[in-house]
Amino acid sequence: MNDVSAGEIKASDHWTNKGSDVKLALYNKVIGDAAKTVGTILFVHGSSMASQPTFDLQVPGRPDSSVMEWFAKRGYDTWCFDLEGYGRSTKDRDNNAPISFGADDCYAAAQYIQKLRGPRPFLVYGISSGALRAAMFAERHPEMVARLALDAMVWTGEGAPTLVERRKRLPEFLTKNRRPIDKAFVHSIFSRDHPGTADDATIEAFADAITALDDSVPTGTYVDMCSKLPVVDPEKITMPTIVLRGQWDGIAAFDDLIEFYKRLPNPDKQFSSMAGISHASFQQKNYLMVYHILGSFFAQPEPVYRG
């Protein structure tokens, strides 16, 4: 990785369209000339929050709290975007924004960035249902993805206690396109698996940032994850891939992900079990460890011999 940490981080807002009736809000952080960066990262958020609270969270006294800034300081062109139904993107269409729509959003965002920056394929990171959206995007458009990181993902759902509880509310989720969220809900993300993995100041800042943008979010990913898994096929994910799984994650069941990992066809693949982590990796006490794992994967040289 190139250390350009002495430079000034440039932040900018962008907009693109998905079809004729959806606007997607994008956000970029980069240092220096974007054409000279070592790679372009596309971050894909999860079911219950928009992109900037997840990837550009500012917490006083927490160094490099923003993963976008951490990678920008190491020479990357970093992007996140709000999926349809979240944050500053279109929220008023009559749909529940299922995972397939999210993969379409990834494609629309990627097309915009490539028109702006050039045709370089992306380093893609997705978390939770964002990992499913990112994986589906990678299946559909492998030429656009150089490396793929799937964090806190679920494949078939087998062995996931959080999904067992969530399925009890499936009839409710099926009756409406959106579900309410508040700060108490955000706090529950950190208490449901293993309390103590994130500090109180970070949880509170995360909750404040999420609820400043949304008081409800689409139900589509919950419906998909409770009733339609699997929605991606590992055998169709052909690029180098890392699967990241927190030690105490109640959604990303270990055995389920090992079976997914076994089926990835590219021999350039990794499985990382992250100690002391529950579900929201970048908001955990061990977040710098997560950055290191992800940064090493994104910076890994291509094999010179493949046999």
Q: What are phi and psi of 40, to 5 degrees?
A: -110, 120
Say what the pLDDT of residue 4 is. Answer: 73
What local confidence, expressed as pLDDT, does residue 78 receive? 98
| Phi and psi at residue 121, to the nearest 5° | -70, 160
- Radius of gyration of the chain from Cα atoms? 18
At 180-201, the pLDDT tens digits run: 999 999 999 999 999 999 999 9
Q: Is residue 264 part of a domain?
A: yes
What is the DSSP-derived secondary structure letter of residue 192? S
Closest among 37, 195, 54, 206 to 123, alpha carbons compared = 37
Owning domain of residue 137: 9-299
Q: What is the mean pLDDT of residues 35-56?
A: 98
Summarised one tens digit per residue, pLDDT across range 69-80 is 999 999 999 999
Considering the domain boundaries, does residue 83 fall inside one?
Answer: yes
State the average pLDDT for the chain.
97
Is pLDDT of 11 > 80? yes
Distance CA 247, CA 304 (A): 33
Q: Evaluate whether residue 228 is within a structural domain.
A: yes
Residue 305 resides in a domain: no
Helices then strands, counting H and E runs in the chain, come out as 11, 10
Between the two ends of the chain, the Cα-to-Cα distance in Å is 27
Q: Is 183 exposed, middle or buried (0-12, 13-18, 19+ CB in 10 A)?
A: middle
Q: Is residue 274 part of a domain?
A: yes
Angle at 101 between CA 240 and CA 67, to 5 degrees: 50
Q: Of 132, 51, 44, 133, whose CA–CA distance to 87 is shortest?
A: 51
Q: What is the DSSP string of 223-242?
A: HHHHHT---S-GGG--S-EE
User: What percent of the residues of the chain are helix, what percent strand, and what percent coil, each to the nearest 5?
Assistant: 40, 20, 40
Q: What is the spatial order of strands in the sheet that 122-127 belongs to?
A: 9-18, 22-31, 76-81, 39-44, 122-127, 145-151, 241-246, 269-274
> Whole-prediction pTM value?
0.97
d(CA 234, CA 37): 30
Report residue 43 CA to chain centroid gap.
5
Does 222 reside within a domain?
A: yes
CA-CA distance, 224 to 231, in Å (whole number)? 8
- Asked whether residue 304 is domain-assigned, the answer is no
Output the six-digit token pair for 215. 């008081």
Question: For position 20, which CATH number holds?
Answer: 3.40.50.1820
Q: Which residue has the tokens 């974007």?
A: 34
The count of domains in the chain is 1
pLDDT at 1 over 90: no
CA–CA separation, 202 and 199 (whole Å): 6
Per-residue pLDDT for 6 more than 90? no
Asked if the structure places residue 145 within a domain, the reply is yes
**Is pLDDT above 70 for 2?**
no
Helix, strand, or coil (residue 220): helix
Q: 36: Cβ–Cβ under 8 A, 6 or more apart, which residues? A: none
Q: What is the pLDDT of residue 249?
A: 97
CA-to-CA distance for 281 and 5, rounded, in angstroms?
Answer: 23
Q: What is the pLDDT of residue 38?
A: 97
